[in-house]
A and B are shown apart, each in its own frame.
Chain A
Amino acid sequence: MSDPKIDGFELKPGFKGMASDTGSDQTMFKGVHWGKAMMWIFLLSDTFVFSCFLISYMKGRASTPVDWPIPSEVFALHVGGVPVPLLLIAIMTFVLITSSGTMALAVKYGYEKNKKMCGWLVLATAIGGLTFVGMQVFEWSKLIHEGVRPWGNPFGAAQFGSFFFMITGFHGFHVSIGVIFLFIYAYKIFAGHYDGEGKRGWFTTMRSDYVEIEILGLYWHFVDLVWVFIFAFFYLW
């Protein structure tokens, strides 16, 4: 977050700082926890995964001579007989952004060692994620009910269903993993694993630390970030 204190090393700002950090010994990312650095590099790798998915999707969509289904009609919900385009997707976006916000606050309270607030906010995030997954299940079953299949659909190009189920499925998989970990960490916070020196983990001697909440937060915000791109490219485009 903010610049760390390092004995005998001057932290310069900006590109000068980048040069001196990179040229220094021991660490390149000054004051960054190993786990946090790992999560960032993992997310970078995961960005390439989702980029490849979305690039494939756009390439597939751009090169099909068959008409692509119009997403705002396919994903419309009927409220009192009137079709409202993308209503469910809008609510899902709302839920995911809400959970992202609670996660950001949880990280903040974690660093302030405010166990209660941090725990409740992580729990709220987990419930937000669960709601999102639930709505995604509803969306999938609605589309399947309407005859959309991975190998074809009644609205147009067959690749629509293929890419839809694959990309949202892969994103939903990420959300589900995140939800599981959010519940685990909510338990860990309330169980006091982060109090004092921190409890040692299983099969390792590393101690727990509130930085883990930030690492978890990074993952969760990334899931939200991916949704921003899916929302733009799949539902709005």
Chain B
Amino acid sequence: MSDDYNDNKIIQAQSSEVMGGSAGVNPDMDYVRPSELPEQDLYHGHTFLTKWVFCQDAKVIGVQYFLTAVFTGVVGLILSWLMRLQLGFPGLAGFMTAEHYYQFVTMHGMIMVVYFLTALFLGGFGNYLIPLMVGARDMVFPYVNMLSFWMFFVAVAVLMASFFVPGGPTGSGWTLYPPQAILEGTPGSGAGILLMLISLSLFVIGFTMGGLNYLITILQARTRGMTLMRMPLTIWGIFTATVLAMLAFPALLVSSIMMTLDKVLGTSFFMPTILKAGEVLEYGGGSPILFQHLFWFFGHPEVYIVALPAFGIVSDLISVHARKNIFGYRMMVWAIVGIGALSFFVWAHHMYVSGMNPWFGFFFASTTLIIAVPTAMKVYNWILTLWRGNIRINTVMLWCLGFIVTFVNGGITGIFLGNVTVDVPLSDTYFVVAHFHMVMGIAPLMVIMGAVYHWFPLVSGRLLSEKLGKWHFWLTFLGAYSIYFPMHYLGFIGVPRRYFEMYDSPYMTSAVGMNEFISLAAFIVGAAQFILIFNVIKTLKNGKKAGKNPWQANSLEWHTSTVPPEHGNFGDRLPVVHRWAYDYSVPGAKEDYIPQTTPPSEVAHTEVEKT
């Protein structure tokens, strides 16, 4: 009870199902039924190899995933620089041929979508946060979890190896559409595409091992009192994204296997009869559209595999840093689940111009636009969470606000592209590039940055520099808008994407200045990301000590026995959860936050929500 609120009319809280009607402290009100799970045995590593390399601790695996993904991300960033160099200032980079350009486009796309964002969100944040946030000692199958990372590592190694094989990496665009992906004349149609397909298959296998861990840990290994509807939205986002991944990656695996066979054995799953220089190739009778269906049956859920963890994490960050409970928690959960379920019924909106059955446009345009409903619901809820909150304008909050703006922007252009009639003229222009970079490139990236600034104190025990963080944010935010906003106009005037050069087309005159501007902005934004790396190094050396729970957050990861948490996470006894993770600024409470572990009897006279 707080003295400050004495004259307020105190409403008796029904803070738990077990609480009786009478006021006061009832010994029964804190009751949580005994554990139905046995204590988990953990394998503690003793040598350097088992402690840091082949480690079975989900937190170490999470950091390993994170660092590997960031490495691939930096490679992707450098590739985008090279692309922008060519587009803004053609001919400036002497070595850049059209082949190189296509290879860079392809590798940039594949790296960023699969090896960077997916691995970072699910492998990195998933591994680190799931056991901590649901109150488990570790993932349920630590050994399989360790194998999952190393499989991912091998997949990355195979992918990177494709830069060094004869012919270079594949240059068929990240969608790898056959027939051109495996035909001579496309850059990297030899070893490059094979290594890409092998790497993707390895990634899927590795991810399946990790994904099983995430799902079973969330479903079957929560701590006492942790119901599904008390989980932080971060976990809901990661959970739903993992479900999508488990069901969508099979389509990618199948299409990879089939294309590998087309390439190696000369089967014709995807290869139609092809005339090349007047000669009929040995292929015949296959269906390239089939590949597109398989690919996008994976590809569209993949978009949400990236977006849903971002939705979840940003909800938590906004709630913590606005000191308010998340608006409409249950609706947020159902929106995440609904978006996830719908994402399996929209895939062919990527294929409006592919020559598929023309009737499909009706079905897929409708389902696509229906997805806007739960998505808009989430945006309203974020804004309503901020409404009259006690907002801390720190770096984390800035990233969250940047995310909301960017996401709304990218989402609205998505509504354009979801309609067949609008999509047909805009298809394969820079409008599409601007749309998907806004909605699934920059927006999730902003969340990642926010999450890094938020959870870095947990991982390292030190707070990242706010001053550098704000520089990082403003350069990235303004820079990213300078890159992608003009791209919408490029799209409207019809500049096609994936073109190496505009040559003598009319776009030369109207788009050249804009292209130069975009390129300059891209160089600055890319360079700005190294501020974060510098910040991390500086902070690790002599950053401000964070202490326990620097953000006054409620969720379990901040209430471990030590910071950073050790193997086993919670010391001798697992925490018992009594409430959701969003009891911020509860009227009548002593502090402006009530951790999830606080029993109802301690906050009996506050207006705490019943969760």
Contact = CB atoms under 8 A, between A and B. Distances in A.
Are chains A and B touching in the complex at the 8 Å CB cutoff? yes
Query: Which of A27, A35, A51, A158 has the most chain B CB atoms closer than 10 A to its own CB?
Result: A158
A25 B261 CA distance: 47
B27 interface: no
Nearest to A39: B212
Contacts of B249: 45
Contacts of B35: 26
Given A34-B220, A37-B219, 4 more contacts: A23-B229, A25-B225, A26-B37, A48-B250
A81 interface: no
Interface in A31-52: 32, 34-35, 37-38, 41-42, 44-46, 48-49, 51-52
B33 interface: yes
A28 B33 contact: no
Given A25-B226, A32-B220, A159 B286 contact: yes
A125 B36 CA distance: 34
Interface string A109-132: 000000000000000000000000
Interface of A: 6-9, 22-30, 32, 34-35, 37-38, 41-42, 44-46, 48-49, 51-53, 56, 59-60, 63-64, 66, 150-151, 157-159, 161-163, 166, 170, 203-206
B33 A8 contact: yes
A27 B143 contact: no
A116 B267 CA distance: 48
A26 B247 contact: no
A6 B140 contact: no
A166 B290 CA distance: 16
A20 to B, nearest CB: 11
B419 interface: no
A42 B287 CA distance: 29
A230 to B, nearest CB: 15
Contacts of B224: 25-26
Interface in B240-295: 246-251, 253-255, 257-258, 261, 265-269, 282, 284-287, 290, 293-294
Contact of B286 (A60, A203, A206): A60
Given A26-B36, A45-B250, A56 B294 contact: yes
A159 B269 CA distance: 7
Contact of B33 (A7, A48, A206): A7
14 contacts: A24-B227, A25-B227, A25-B230, A27-B220, A28-B228, A34-B216, A51-B250, A52-B250, A60-B286, A157-B285, A158-B285, A166-B258, A166-B261, A204-B43
Most-contacted residue by chain A among B37, B211, B216, B219 (CB, 10 A): B216
B246 A44 contact: yes
Interface in B195-228: 208, 211-212, 215-216, 219-228
Contacts of A166: 257-258, 261, 267
B247 A60 contact: no
A8 B224 CA distance: 12
B265 A34 contact: no
B41 interface: yes
Given A52-B297, A63-B287, A66-B285, A151 B250 contact: no
Contacts of B225: 25
Given A34-B220, A38-B216, A26 B287 contact: no
Contacts of B220: 26-29, 32, 34, 37
Interface string B85-97: 0000000000000
B34 interface: yes
Contacts of A48: 246-248, 250-251
Given A52-B294, A60-B269, A8 B227 contact: no
B258 A56 contact: yes
B230 to A, nearest CB: 8
Contacts of A26: 35-37, 220-224, 226
A162 B261 contact: yes
Contact of B219 (A27, A35, A162): A27
A14 to B, nearest CB: 19
A23 B215 CA distance: 16
B142 interface: yes
B24 to A, nearest CB: 24
A23 B246 contact: no
A8 B216 CA distance: 23
Contacts of A204: 41, 43, 142-143
A42 B212 contact: yes
Contacts of B36: 6-7, 9, 26-27, 30
Nearest to B34: A7
A45 B247 contact: yes
B285 A151 contact: no
Given A38-B140, A46-B250, A203-B143, A25 B265 contact: no
A110 B306 CA distance: 43
Contacts of B261: 150, 162, 166
B42 interface: yes
A26 B225 CA distance: 7
Contact of A23 (B227, B247, B265): B227
B33 A9 contact: yes
